[in-house]
Structure 1
Amino acid sequence: MKIVSSPHPVAITGVILAGGRGSRMGGEDKGLILWQNTPLYQHVLQRLQPQVTTVWINANRNIEVYQQSGVPVIKDTLADFPGPLAGMLAALQQAETEWVVFTSCDTPCLPDNLVQHLWQQKNEALAVWARTEERDHPTLALLHRSLADSLQSYLARGDRKLMLFLTQAGGHSVLFMQSAEKFRNFNCPEDLL
């Protein structure tokens, strides 16, 4: 495990969420799609790694390819690709750190102060997520691992709405001013141009 000096006083696990179906990308594994000749998840890894104690990748296919990055790969504990909350649950259940920060695999320009700003603005909340002036970015979130049980119950009821879970957990958004370009994500092939 690589320990780095960080701007927050506690160990934080970073998790890149790459476990989705990639439906809007024609079923391709979004994290492995090339942008600027590098897989999207590699861009995210390079930006996230200096901000956290350790990084994991949550993936449900192409595990061997993701393992080539040298970081641990964890799979969803629930079947049938139930969405980002399933990846979050798997990480919260396995994390050794109290706090886990999540990023999507298709947000290659992440700000270098993502974790620091979420940490500084969380106050007493057990969940916070990024927001720009334009919209919320709930897959870019900092969660306390104590939320694992309530998240498991939420998913067991068939609920899948990420924002609803985060707000029910008492969470709030954290505004990143003039940062829309940093949070740009790639949902369909046209976004890669």
Structure 2
Amino acid sequence: MPEPVLAVILAGGLARRMGGGDKPLRSLAGQPLLEHVLERLRPQVAGIILNANGDPARFAAHGLPVVPDSLPDFPGPLAGVLAGLDWAAAHRPEVTTLLSVPGDTPFLPPDLVARLRAARAAAGTPMACAASGGWPHPPIALWPVALRGALRAALLAGERTIMRWTARFGCASAEWSTDPIDPFFNVNAPEDLAAAEALLRGGAAGS
């Protein structure tokens, strides 16, 4: 039986290209973007938490623990990963691995966790991240809870780049095809929402 994996959805950014506000709460095909992410994740993980800053009540309808960054000034996705690792250590001690995904990726593949696990095992590395079309997606990755102390120290020392930090320990890569759709398509701007709607209407996104 594979070890349980806890997922953290990263929603702690400022969404400047969307005009501010919470990207995961934007509507896509009649439901919040966040719900599309949750539908993809739920069958693959043993639990899901949301990394977001500010009033957690705005996410209450989704029934998720909301965990803010523990460091000030929005230091980026690594801070969200650290928040997830710390929450796992405190509340789910049986979990040794965290999956991180951005809150604006509505087409995550159904084999995300399985293939990241396989890549990590094959490479003998503590971490694995997703890639598609030859491009890495560092925020979509598996992280060992045991490295949370090292990550906190790096963030406090000013580290903000995921790939530079993971390179210290070793991070495998799992590649997905972008045909017929990039499973890691992310909604950064209003035109991306329109494109995602079109993909869903056309059936290219699958399920």
Shift of 1:128: 0.7
Q: Which residue of 1 aligns with 2:129?
A: 129
Secondary structure in 1 matching 2:110 = coil
Secondary structure in 2 matching 1:103? strand
How far apart are the structure 2 equivalents of 1:70 and 1:27? 23
* Contact map agreement 1:58 1:74 (CA 8 A) in 2: yes
CA distance in 2, matches of 1:127, 1:66: 29
Paired with 2:63 and 2:21, the residues of 1 have a C-alpha distance of 22
Determine which structure has more spread, i.e. the larger CA radius of gyration: 2
1:59 correspondence with 2:42: no
Q: SS of 2:158's equivalent?
A: coil
Which one of 89, 110, 113 corresponds to residue 112 of structure 1? Answer: 110
Partners of 1:181 and 1:37 in 2: CA distance: 21
Match of 2:189 in 1: 188
Native 8 Å contact 2:10 2:77 kept in 1 = yes
TM-score (normalised: structure 1): 0.91
What corresponds to 2:69 in structure 1?
76
CA drift of 1:181 comes to: 2.0
Higher helix share: 2
Structure 1 runs, 4 residues or longer, greater than 6 Å off: none
What does residue range 8-23 of structure 1 map to in structure 2 within 5 Å?
9-23=2-16
What residue identity is the alignment partner of 2:184? F
For 1:67 and 1:116, the matched residues in 2 are separated by 29
Partner of 2:145: 145
Q: Whole-Å Cα distance in 1 between the matches of residues 11 and 108 of structure 2?
A: 15
Alignment match, 1:25: 18
SS, match of residue 183 in structure 1: coil
- Aligned residues: CA RMSD: 1.4
Shift of 1:132: 0.9
* CA distance in 2 between partners of 1:100 and 1:172 (Å): 15
Find the counterpart in structure 2 of residue 47 from structure 1. 40
Q: Judge conservation of contact 1:166–1:172 (CA < 8 Å) in 2.
A: no
How far the C-alpha of 1:18 sits from its partner, in A, is 0.8
- Cα distance in 1, alignment partners of residues 117 and 50 from structure 2: 21
Q: In the alignment, what sits opposite 1:37?
A: 30
| 1:10 alignment partner, SS class | coil
The normalised TM-score by structure 2 is: 0.85
* Paired AA for residue 109 in structure 2: P
The alignment covers a number of residue pairs equal to 186
In structure 2, C-alpha distance between the alignment counterparts of 1:171 and 1:121, rounded to whole Å: 9
Deviates more, 1:168-177 or 1:91-100: 168-177
Stretches of structure 1 lacking an aligned partner (at least 5 in a row): 1-7
Tell me how far apart the structure 1 counterparts of residues 65 and 78 of structure 2 sit (CA, whole Å): 19
Q: How many percent of aligned residue pairs carry the same amino acid?
A: 39
Query: Partners of 1:167 and 1:66 in 2: how far apart?
Result: 34
Code of the aligned partner of 1:157: A
Please give the residue correspondences for 1:161-172 in structure 2 after superposition, counting only pairs within 5 Å: 161-172=161-172
Task: Report what 2:200 is aligned to.
Answer: none
- Structure 2: segments with no counterpart, 5+ residues: 195-207
